[in-house]
Structure 1
Amino acid sequence: MYKYLIFDLDDTVLDFSGGEAVNIRRLFAGIGLTGNELTKAIDTYRGINRKLWNQYEMGKIPRNEIFQVRFTKTLEALNLEGSGMDLESKYYEMILHNYRILPHAKHILNELSRRYTLIAGTNGQAELQRMRLKKTDIEHYFDQIYISEEMGSKKPQASFFDQIFQDNPEMTLDNTMMIGDGLYTDILGGNNYGIATLWINHHGTSTPENIDPTYEVHTLDEIMDIL
């Protein structure tokens, strides 16, 4: 039935959250925070960062605004002195070397690549995503790679999927599936476009009424039971 699988990258095959947790802790420890102060700083940053990304995905702010204000807002919320942009620069250097992948990712991509056309479809920074694909040695499993920064559109926008479909004349709504962990990007985007979706629900989150994944799993390896 399915011939084309569009894979999100971060927290779908790449372990972005795992690397982020380590790097954020290192970053705030580097400015002298310890114990409860360190924990509070990490939690504060995560809340601010998550809100900004949600605003971006809903089209309320440009992507660059996230990187310009997230650490500044964090320092302000914590009543700490310092440069938010300096922290952003240090953090960017750290995440350039976040080469973690989720358990079983290589095996699953290898198996699926024998039976399907695999396409990477991700929101994010092109330099970062391409480097991580190369360094984790999973780039070769994907027949095509689409990154929002290079495309000028992002999930869940229809224009993101339009470009992929235009480049693949045999792709149809019935033979294509979007696979990812993002409810408001991967799954909502696939729902709106009319293709099947597979949601990797890592945290057992409830789905809103307006989002309806075709399939739902809790770990990456469970997708083999479906595909």
Structure 2
Amino acid sequence: MKYDWILFDADETLFHFDSFGGMKLMFERFGVNFSRDDYEEYQQVNKPLWVDYQDGKITAEQLKCIRFEGWANKLGITPLEMNSAFLEAMADICTLLPGAKELLDALNGKAKLGIITNGFTELQAIRLQRTGLTDYFEHVVISEEVGVAKPDQEIFQYAYQLMGLPSKSRILMVGDNPDSDVLGGLNFGIETCWLNTHGQQRPEGIAPHYEVTSLTELKDTLLA
């Protein structure tokens, strides 16, 4: 095995993140029929906020509040209550990406595993527990707790300290987002793998060490 450590992103790398499904379930629980059009409208607010969060322009707390302000007012609850209801619904519908369990089983004992995620604390532990993955990971580093998000070097440095400063040449970062996962890893000086499940065009100026279309392909690549 070429690597001593393999770090994974969480959403759309290990876990499906079906935010429309989560929103639909949450609103059902509030007695509201949430449509695809409603979702598109929500994403017009939500998506730019995640970019601002990755760029360090807003905090996790601000993101949680701003994205649900409009709907929370309509329902007469606070945006933070709504955010919690959404994360609870996301935990309830959580599933693993195809090949995730097999990949982790194959790596178990051959390399140490960690997670670096820009997702929220409230969702991480419960998902790992429900999918039976808790014991696979030495460290779960969450941007909300560190105070900075990928691709900021600080979150990688934080994980690196926790890992006991191993040789950077023996660390691999795996993720689906070329900007936060791949570029973040490259800038920190570690090797990267882009999980490109949707056949996206590779962004200009970002060159991962590996590009795979599935976790099964990653398993075959790593254990070849």
TM-based fold match above 0.5: yes
Query: Would you say how many aligned residue pairs link Structure 1 and Structure 2?
Result: 218
Query: Which residue pairs with 1:4 in the alignment?
Result: 5
CA distance in 2, matches of 1:27, 1:126: 18
Letter in 2 for 1:196: E
On the 8 A contact 1:122/1:148 being kept in 2, the answer is yes
TM superposition score normalised by structure 1: 0.85
**1:107-118 aligned within 5 A:** 107-118=102-113
Query: Which residue pairs with 2:145 in the alignment?
Result: 150
Once the two structures are TM-superposed, the CA of residue 110 in structure 1 deviates from its matched residue by 0.7
**1:86-101 aligned within 5 A:** 87-101=82-96
Partner of 1:203: helix, strand, or coil? Answer: coil
**1:45-194 aligned within 5 A:** 45-73=42-70, 81-83=74-76, 85=79, 87-169=82-164, 171-194=166-189
CA distance in 2, matches of 1:104, 1:121: 19
CA distance in 2, matches of 1:95, 1:6: 23
On the 8 A contact 1:180/1:200 being kept in 2, the answer is yes
CA distance in 2, matches of 1:215, 1:112: 17
Partner of 2:151: helix, strand, or coil? Answer: coil
TM superposition score normalised by structure 2: 0.86
Letter in 1 for 2:179: Y
Query: Which residue pairs with 1:44 in the alignment?
Result: 41
Partner of 2:168: helix, strand, or coil? Answer: coil
Deviations 1:109-162 (A, max 9, x none): 010123111112222222320121112101111122222223233211111111
Deviations 1:53-94 (A, max 9, x none): 111101121121221121335x59xxx954572643432332
CA distance in 1, matches of 2:75, 2:148: 34
On the 8 A contact 1:8/1:122 being kept in 2, the answer is yes
Query: Compared with structure 1, are the counterparts of its residues 108 and 32 closer, same or farther at alpha carbon in structure 2 (3 Å cutoff)?
Result: same
CA distance in 2, matches of 1:163, 1:104: 28
On the 8 A contact 2:88/2:123 being kept in 1, the answer is no
Q: RMSD of the alignment, in Å? A: 2.4
2:218 to 217, 220, 223: 223
Query: Compared with structure 1, are the counterparts of its residues 127 and 39 closer, same or farther at alpha carbon in structure 2 (3 Å cutoff)?
Result: closer
Once the two structures are TM-superposed, the CA of residue 32 in structure 1 deviates from its matched residue by 4.2
CA distance in 1, matches of 2:161, 2:33: 50
Q: Which runs of 5+ in 2 are unaligned?
A: none
Partner of 1:146: helix, strand, or coil? Answer: strand
Once the two structures are TM-superposed, the CA of residue 211 in structure 1 deviates from its matched residue by 2.0
CA distance in 2, matches of 1:33, 1:120: 35
CA distance in 2, matches of 1:103, 1:14: 9
Identical aligned pairs, as a percentage?
A: 33
CA distance in 2, matches of 1:199, 1:112: 18
Query: Compared with structure 1, are the counterparts of its residues 190 and 25 closer, same or farther at alpha carbon in structure 2 (3 Å cutoff)?
Result: same
CA distance in 2, matches of 1:150, 1:49: 20
